[in-house]
A and B are shown apart, each in its own frame.
Chain A
Amino acid sequence: MSNRQASNDAGLRRRAFLGSISALGGGFALGWQIPITPALAASAVESPTVHDVGIWAVIGSDDSVTVRIARSEMGQGTFTGLAQLVADELDADWAHVRAEYVSPDMNFANKRAWGDMSTGGSRGIRGSVDYVRKGGAAARAMLISAAAQSWGVAPAECKAANSVITHPSSGRSLRYGEVAAAAALLPVPTEVTLKTPAQWTLIGKGVRRLDTVEKLSGKQVFAIDVQLPDMLCAAIRQCPVFGGTLKSFEADKILAMPGVRHVVPVGDDAVAVVADKWFLAKTALAALPVVWDEGKNGEINSAQIDALLTGGLDAKEAALGQRHGDVETGLASAATKIEAVYGSPYLAHATLEPMNCTAKFADGRVEIWVPSQNGDASLAAAAEAAGVKLAEVKVNKLHLGGGFGRRGNQDYTRQAVLIAKQVPGRPIKLIWTREEDTTHDFYRPITQCKLRAGLDPSGNVVALHARLSGQSILAYLAPQRMEGGIDKAAFQSWSEEEFGYRSIPNLLIDHAVRNTHVPVGFWRGVNTNQNAIYMECFIDELAHAAGRDPLAFRQAMLTQSPKHLAVLNAAAEKAGWGSPLPPGVYRGICQNFGYGSYTAAVAEVSVSDKGELKIHRIVAATDPGYVVNPNQVSAQVEGSFVYGLGAVLEGAITIDKGRVVETNFDTYPVMRLAAMPKVETVIAPSGGFWGGVGEPTISVCGPAVLNAIFAATGKRIRTLPLRLHDLSRA
């Protein structure tokens, strides 16, 4: 079947699907929650008809435009941004645009006509911009053709704007809703011309988010809120030691407790209590005697892991990231040599909505309700756990209460299905406690970095070696993506294409892969975060060693990287770099490239005699090429300072006896409002490319502040989090 056939088939299926939703009261994709009443059934008669015009836009006879979204909305605004892209090419009236998920099973059944559903790596917009814009343009062409046919004129004589098609020479016009039914029957054009940036009306506009209203009233249904007829709830306890297994449990000790229905093993390393209500399941689980086989990892602690990594800093063998010139020769000839070792700990994601998934297994079929960053992966995980074919799985995606990379992993989906399979016929809602969530994450990898550099007598960098040592995400999650022992993702921001300091004649970047038993994964910004801290703080050290201003030092090193330089200058200019500051206030600066975007930041801080840090102001500049929604870009930049800087200041996951020590927000502190610095966002789009937004800024949060702390105190912070350091004046 061709893509086009797939599209048409999807359209037919979609119409049937929408019809059923319509009967439930014109509800959004959450139709199952709305009870069918005679009044609602009657209202369906008067409901507007809806029509698939191509696969990305559903247009109603009431002029509503529903844009299909394949990626997941977890706060980053992609639901709105992707709708803007489609609606702009469609020339739709934004006031009547809404968005709705494509279900993963619908995508699967149609040979993935809606493309990749994975939502990570700041790819939501940049990874789908081409085909969703074409989808909007195709729908526009179909609507114009339908109107032109009804008038007996050539489509080229017609224009479209704000959901209205006009034929200027005759003065006739038709609304999209009036031609949608006819347009839906036309073939989807394969060749369309996209607008030029000058023609954009919605792209670049800071329209409000499409998903705000429900989030103000408690009406937004997250997966954790799903309520279904006959639903039971499950609480889970996993082996505290990674790699350990479940040995035994004494179900009879808790089966008589209120509401308890079942106690079941989940895979080989967890046990769950199924009860009428989740709180009852959780209460009973706390009383359940469980014996674990902790295996060989039960004695591992953070000190051992640190020592393992430190050993990698000088190891002979290392995976090559980038090399030119000869670092050792360069260092030997240098007038000044500087060396420093940095490190950053494991971090948990701590999405505020804990891991959860609801699953129902009945008659060889599975249905799940899941907060997922990857609908395709959820579908596959559910099928595998249930032992059924992919076609036997239905996936309901719900907005995520935070993702940050955690919910690309489908461990909780698998668990929910494994439990549901043991209690067939009834939906089971599995919710993790915060404690399970904190202690069973896929952590941001622990790494150390040894940096060595040489300066010539004029203070120019003649050699630089950055040796990473630490855990590889790909080796853990996707070993098939390791290339000859190299995890290319470990060198994020440091590849030849990304690394801005091209003027360094002798450069070596390599990685001693040191894996442990602790699960690691993608954490918003991933390896750009640590790498930018290591590099940008060390560059600051070099600037001070050279007796040069940190901005001027970087500017001189970025002459071959004009876009890096431009965004650095944009931040410096807005911050008034070099201008006088109030007494006791000091600045720090940095820049970095990641996820296709250029970023830079300036921090203004003061440190009291007692060592209390106050961040007075942040200026953060970003060049993502084109900007879809400046209001959401600034929201992401602001939020980056909470997620990224908060981790730098406070975040650390440590290991003792093979397990995670921190369990909840009392032991794993995160940034709160009082610590939030004032963030001024400078959006400096240079055009010509589509860069990411959700993650790039995270990388510049830490170094800007750490460099400012050095300026304020003379103390160079090289290990994190900051809260473990004493900044007081001795």
Chain B
Amino acid sequence: MIKLDINSKTTEVDADPQTPLLWVLREWVGMTGTKYGCGIAQCGACTVHLDGVATRSCSVPVGAVGDSKITTIEGLSADGLSHPVQVAWLQHDVPQCGYCQSGQIMAAAALLKSNPHPSDDDIDDAMTNICRCGTYQRIRAAIHTASTLPSKA
């Protein structure tokens, strides 16, 4: 059994240590907010936080997680709406199909944690997740808005 700290809750899973964290979250724990898009850390749909750092969970073996605290989209805020990034995302009506948005939101939240007032260049560097609908313009605007909102964390 592997012990994991997911959204501040200890969870034990019976999975091979080589299993990617993404699939452990989705199939062993049953939390499907974190998405599969490519499996090779290219698209970022699977982004979660490991000790606050944005991480592509499709390419992290669950056995390598250790004591790191895992935060998924389900654990970003208590009500799923009140994190500054979520507030700003709603304000800008960012999502289209929405499939990439869990990963985008997690990437943006990690960016703002390390850099509370990112420039456009900072956003370019940090936000490498793929969105096929093309919500990038609103993502950029929403990150700037979120940087002005009080953090509840």
- The segment from A217-225, A494-502, A512-520, A590-598 that touches chain B is A217-225
Q: Among B74, B89, B136, B138, which residue has its beta carbon within 8 angstroms of that of A218? A: B74
The answer to whether the Cβ of A213 comes within 8 Å of any Cβ in the partner chain is: yes
Whether A401 contacts B97 by the Cβ 8 Å rule is yes
Which residues 8-37 of B have a CB within 8 angstroms of A? 16, 19-20, 23, 26-28, 30-37
Interface flag for A353 (CB, 8 Å): yes
Looking across the interface, which residue of chain A has its beta carbon closest to that of B86?
Answer: A216
Interface of chain A residues 643 through 659 with chain B (CB within 8 A): 643, 646
- Top 7 closest pairs, chain A to chain B, by CB: A218-B33, A217-B80, A642-B134, A639-B134, A401-B99, A75-B97, A215-B98
**B95/A434 in contact, CB under 8 A:** no
Contact call B96/A676, Cβ cutoff below 8 A: no
Given contacts A218-B32, A631-B93, contact A211 B137 (CB under 8 A): no
Q: Does A39 make an interface contact (CB < 8 A)?
A: no
Interface flags, A624-645, vs B, CB<8A=1, else 0 = 0000000100010011111100
Q: Contacts of B63 on A, CB cut-off 8 Å?
A: none
Closest to A351 in B: B132
Contact of B93 among A212, A351, A403 (CB under 8 A): A212
**Contact A433–B39 (Cβ < 8 Å):** yes
A side interface size, CB within 8 A: 61
Q: Is the interface of B mostly helix, strand, loop or mixed?
A: loop
Q: Does A674 contact B (CB under 8 A)?
A: yes
B contacts with A, residue count (CB < 8 A): 60
- Is A690's CB within 8 Å of the partner chain B? no
B100 interfacial by beta-carbon distance below 8 Å: yes
Chain B 57-77 interface mask (CB, 8 Å, partner A; 1/0): 000000000000000111011
Q: Which listed residue, B16, B27, B72, B99, touches A352 by the CB 8 Å rule?
A: B99
Q: Does A277 make an interface contact (CB < 8 A)?
A: yes
Interface string of A576-588 (1 = CB under 8 A from B): 0000000000000
A224 (CB) vs chain B CBs: closest residue: B36
A641 CB, min distance to chain B CBs, angstroms: 7
Residues of chain B lying within 8 A (CB to CB) of residue A216: 80-81, 86, 89-90, 95, 101, 105
Kindly state whether residue A13 has any CB partner on chain B within 8 Å.
no
Residues on the A chain within 8 Å of B89, using CB: 212, 216
B90 touches A213 (CB 8 A): yes
Whether B38 lies near A402 (C-beta < 8 A) is no
The answer on a CB contact under 8 Å between B133 and A642 is yes
- Residue in A73, A217, A641, A646 whose CB lies within 8 Å of B73: A217
Q: Are A352 and B131 in contact (CB under 8 A)?
A: yes
The reply to whether B132 and A642 contact each other, CB–CB distance below 8 Å, is: yes
Assess the B28–A277 pair: CB atoms within 8 A: yes
Could you say which residues of chain A place their CB within 8 Å of the CB of B134? 638-643, 646, 671, 676
**Cβ of A32 under 8 Å from chain B:** no
A215/B95 contact (C-beta < 8 A), A352-B130, A635-B138 known: yes
Report whether A209 and B128 are in contact in the complex, using a CB–CB cutoff of 8 Å.
no
Check A673–B127 contact: CB distance below 8 A.
Answer: yes
B54 at the A interface (CB under 8 A): no
Are B97 and A217 neighbours in the complex by a CB distance under 8 Å? no
Q: Is A107 an interface residue (CB 8 A)?
A: no
Cα of A664 to Cα of B102 in the assembled complex, Å: 20
Residues in A neighbouring B97, C-beta threshold 8 A: 73-75, 352-353, 399-403
The proximity string for B residues 80-110 relative to A, scoring 1 for CB distances below 8 Å and 0 otherwise, is 1100001001100111111111100100000
Task: Please report B residues at the A interface, Cβ cutoff 8 Å.
Answer: 16, 19-20, 23, 26-28, 30-40, 42-43, 45, 72-74, 76-77, 79-81, 86, 89-90, 93-102, 105, 123-125, 127-140
Q: Which of B31, B73, B93, B100 contacts A635 (CB 8 A)?
A: B93
**How far apart are A348's CB and chain B's nearest CB, in angstroms?**
11
Q: A211–B130 contact, CB under 8 A?
A: no
Q: Are A402 and B99 in contact (CB under 8 A)?
A: yes
Report A391-437 residues with CB < 8 Å from chain B CB: 399-404, 431, 433-434
Q: In the complex, which residue of chain A has the Cβ closest to the Cβ of B30?
A: A227
From A221, A353, A670, name the one whose CB has the most chain B CB atoms within 10 angstroms.
A353
Kindly state whether residue A309 has any CB partner on chain B within 8 Å. Answer: no
**Is A665 an interface position by the 8 A CB rule?**
yes
Known contacts A402-B133, A665-B42, A674-B124; A639/B36 CB under 8 A: no
Q: Cβ of A219: which chain B residues have Cβ within 8 Å of it?
A: 33, 80
Q: Which of A403, A635, A643, A665 sits near B38, CB closer than 8 Å?
A: A665
- A665, B130: Cα distance in complex, Å: 9
Q: Beyond A216-B89, A218-B74, A635-B93: 12 further Cβ-contacts under 8 Å? A: A209-B93, A213-B80, A217-B74, A224-B32, A353-B97, A399-B97, A434-B40, A639-B135, A642-B133, A665-B130, A672-B128, A673-B136
Using Cβ atoms and an 8 Å threshold, which residues of chain A touch B27? 233, 277-279
Known contacts A215-B98, A221-B32; A434/B39 CB under 8 A = yes
B36 & A431 in contact (Cβ 8 Å cutoff): yes
Most buried by B among A74, A217, A641: A217
Q: Which residues of chain B have C-beta atoms less than 8 A from A404's C-beta?
A: 132
Which A residues from 200 to 258 make CB contacts under 8 A with B? Answer: 208-209, 211-222, 224-225, 227, 233, 258
Chain A residues within 8 Å of B133, by CB: 75, 402, 639, 642-643
Most chain-A Cβ atoms within 10 A of its Cβ — which of B34, B73, B97, B131?
Answer: B97
A277 vs B36: C-alpha distance when bound (angstroms): 14
Per-residue interface assignment for chain A, residues 108 to 120, with 1 indicating a CB less than 8 Å from any chain B CB and 0 otherwise: 0000000000000
The CA of A666 and the CA of B80, in the complex, are separated in Å by 32
Q: Does A470 contact B (CB under 8 A)?
A: no
* Cβ contact within 8 Å between A434 and B96: no
Q: Are A279's CB and B23's CB within 8 A?
A: yes
Please tell me if A81 contacts chain B, counting CB pairs below 8 Å: no
A725 at the binding interface (Cβ < 8 Å): no
Within 666-683 of A, Cβ neighbours of B (below 8 Å) are at: 666, 670-674, 676, 678-679
